[in-house]
Structure 1
């Protein structure tokens, strides 16, 4: 049976030696597998709507026994995403350089988002409104060598994303190299453009002088003394 009003969804009758499955408001269509020998009921392709109270009722003659269960269906947990940014100043310490971390995850049922330093819990957050995305910030000193973990968990499972300061240091170094290379290329291109411009100006100046000289010569020839 399912629901607060004990709607029958599957039934076995030993007297008639039959096994019958019944759909309840299309919630269990093609999802129920009833074992006629053991009496076990398997629900496949579960959805959120399959959560709720279940009851197994055994009837033997005049004796009736009820066994109650409560089933909760949880969504598959997403893997959290960590965003990082290097800051020139720490707000929580005297260190001159920090890494600002933001762990983010899609919000699903009964989920919390937590930051761990090793095995020690630093902070966590949970939001009942599933339309609000979970986000949790953390500030880490740039020279910190500890491993931090962002964990998304519900009552039955969890997903973890780890962060090490060396990753950001390497990325930051690569970015600096990239910026240095880009800057060098820009300077080379700029120098080349300046050189081309200078050559163009010189050519224009030479041609202008030639045209001016030709005009003077023509003027002198047309007006002899």
Structure 2
């Protein structure tokens, strides 16, 4: 699985070093198994189909004519999902998830935005992960019109703190504490399946510090608790103020 921040570009490698005279390389996106790019050497066709799915990929696809690798630019939530590259000899799957880092002051509230404008999906799940801890904390079952928060999981860590918007599926955590540091996964299941991951870190208030020292303390506290977890690996780099 690859994690991509909104607005970034991501390259999906075909694992080919060169293209031969009889090669056929096709890139598919999971929604309806939609063909979004292909190289057909025999037919002399090097094409990207960026107008499919109501123009979701318009002006965002770049196909490498030497290797067949595909680059998606200006990545957004609607581009998350499963991508497949098919050649004569192999099939490779890529799962792309949207990734966002959020730093929150202890005691404040934070809303994890789904970027949805309506619930047109079969099921939506919010899962909390930190180190070896994992639990479903909220969900929407659209066919049965059921909206649920599971705030008693993990010994009541989220009790009376979760609010799930039944129109957008965005999740709000109120009166956040350091024990709420972790990763929050939003899984959308339906015609537009996707995964969004929020890495949330919680910092204490800064007291009695000069402006430079305050910035340093905020940066350091924002990094506390961020770790490698189940399905994702990422690096956080910080610079020391002179």
Tell me the TM-score normalised to structure 2 length: 0.42
Q: Does 1 or 2 have the higher relative contact order (CA < 8 Å, sep 6+)?
A: 2
Higher strand share: 2
Higher helix share: 1
Q: Whose radius of gyration is greater, 1 or 2?
A: 1
